[in-house]
A = this chain, B = another copy of it.
């Protein structure tokens, strides 16, 4: 067990050894094992965007086993997906990679200004499927946000009782926010804080922009000269906002980028800002497998601090 992983585990003093052991499994698996960094493959787009939008560009990805195989071969720390996708490969790939069961999901058949999600899996499901962690999405800023926080809290309490890790996807959106506000630096930092206060062990947010959404926040960012000009600075601020770096925060881009140079710049900013890694969905499974493997390995090298040209 590396010193860094031991240090990270020490931040979770209220958790049981069972939860720490599952957290250690996530941190010690794959090519980044032991570095304290994470690259996770998430595939919930089938539910969120529909199958054709998600998989038609790389039809092999219709098969749930494809994603298990990709995550394993790439050396990801974990694979995250909704109930059906996990069930479809859990036996065949049992024990090959840490699994994160998404326990709520949304579709895109009904547009609503204030989005919500459906609870789609349970902590019991996670145990019977051999998952290390459960995932839950909250939408801070939505009119449904408090009911979402309450469901997240209840699942977190149960997950901890059974020794699992709680991952919160904190995606600000809803009638309280402008579209730009969804990735504004003050809002993303706030979302990370909320997820940490709800008891998340791992927090997943989008990379923030330099926009500041709320007037009350802007006053403070200006008065205190909080550095938010570069992506790395913004990552650093978000990590600080999650209990001064004592919670694991990982980042995703906002949308599919097929310009790998830009993508690698994002990973470098995460690394330079002290972020704990990336969660890379569409950019991986929506391209051919060989390319995806290359990209994911490069991502891991960047997060591991290796020179990548």
Residues of A that sit less than 8 Å from B by CB: 1, 5, 9, 11-25, 27-28, 46-47, 49-53, 56-57, 59, 62-64, 82-96, 99, 105-112, 116-122, 124-125, 127-131, 140-143, 145-147, 149-150, 153, 157, 161-163, 172, 174-177, 186-187, 189-190, 192-194, 196-200, 214, 216-217, 220-221, 223-224, 226, 237, 240-241, 243-244, 246-247
Contact = CB atoms under 8 A, between A and B. Distances in A.
Given A140-B109, A153-B120, A153-B121, A46 B197 contact: yes
A88 B216 contact: no
A46 B195 CA distance: 11
A109 B177 contact: yes
Nearest to A49: B216
Given A14-B90, A50-B217, A62 B110 contact: no
A91 B146 contact: no
Contacts of A240: 51, 59, 62
Nearest to A52: B220
Nearest to A225: B56
A190 B51 contact: yes
A64 B242 CA distance: 10
A149 B105 CA distance: 10
B91 A14 contact: yes
B57 A190 contact: no
B28 A83 contact: no
Given A50-B189, A88-B14, A24 B56 contact: no
Contacts of A193: 46-47, 50-51
A53 B142 CA distance: 21
A191 to B, nearest CB: 8
Nearest to A63: B244
A64 B25 contact: no
A221 B53 CA distance: 8
Given A14-B129, A246-B88, A194 B121 contact: no
Contacts of A13: 17, 87-92
A74 B189 CA distance: 29
A122 to B, nearest CB: 6
A124 B157 contact: yes
